[in-house]
Amino acid sequence: MKIAQERVSTFASRGVRRRVEPGEGSSCARCGEAIKFSMKTPAHQIIANVYENGVWNRVEHFHDTCYLNAGLPYGNARD
């Protein structure tokens, strides 16, 4: 099935806010730094499912602050 090029607008890309769990090794899509689990201060990350041309393309991870600083690229992340 051919997908029309006009449908570039994001289909259902959205972010959710999650606690960083031990053993996760993602890096932030904005700053490139590792998103690390911390025993002292619970860290949160934004996990975004990114759709391109209406088709799921990838998952991106962000520090929650980076996501805010980026202007909520995939909408207001929900808990």
> Binding residues for Zn ion, per CB under 5 A?
28, 30-31, 63, 66
Closest residue to Zn ion in the complex (CB):
28
3-state secondary structure 20-76: CCCCCCCECCCCCCECCCCCCCCCEEEEEEEEECCEEEEEEEEEHHHHHHCCCCCCC
Q: What is the CB neighbour count within 10 angstroms for residue 70? A: 16
Nearest distance from residue 31's CB to Zn ion, in Å? 3
Nearest distance from residue 14's CB to Zn ion, in Å? 18
Nearer to Zn ion, 8 or 59 (CB): 59
Nearest distance from residue 45's CB to Zn ion, in Å? 9
- The token pair at 15 is 């972010």
Nearer to Zn ion, 24 or 54 (CB): 24
